[in-house]
Structure 1
């Protein structure tokens, strides 16, 4: 391990620290999202699209969009994204590969970057090798 790595951490450690800050921010929005009506939660998508049209980036919207997606999953699927799934969603959004074991919620995790990137209106492709997914 180099001297600089000992002081500043590895690149992965620095990225994980950044992702964990976003996870804290997403978690902090949870009570606000829970308080929204279904209509208000749906309206967030239109709001995000308008903000993108106004110059915001997907990265600017990530925390709020992930919080909205998590709340929608809780209401519709009765499933809540765990923090590790939030991190996995960020990893995929940033074009990296996330390795998760069987049963760790890869399918649920994928909804996060799919929702975020669909906001741009450019389409999102999801590929799976399992027929049941």
Structure 2
């Protein structure tokens, strides 16, 4: 029965990690037009400890240090002397691709969780007979 709880634990950690990733992708998309906004990324790390057994956790949130876009808008209050404003470094195509990948990974973890739950339930039904 312990293996079922391990499978549920591993898939639950994957669900949590992917949901956090989706949260950062949504934040990046929401701030794509915010001047000076830097894209946030999150890495997954294996969970440490004697009972981790394949679980993941999210690492620290990192800011993308690529160059900010320069937008010519001399009427903007944040424009410099040349009339340029520092835009964000969010690329919507990358964010959409990251969102799709996180969504698919989330769904895969959800299916694994459901399968382990169904197998555990079936085993309990067999043991009751």
TM > 0.5 fold call: no
* Greater fraction helix: 1
Structure showing greater Rg: 2
* Greater fraction strand: 2
Q: TM-score, normalised by structure 2?
A: 0.31
Greater RCO between the two (CA within 8 Å, min separation 6)?
2
Q: TM-score, normalised by structure 1?
A: 0.31
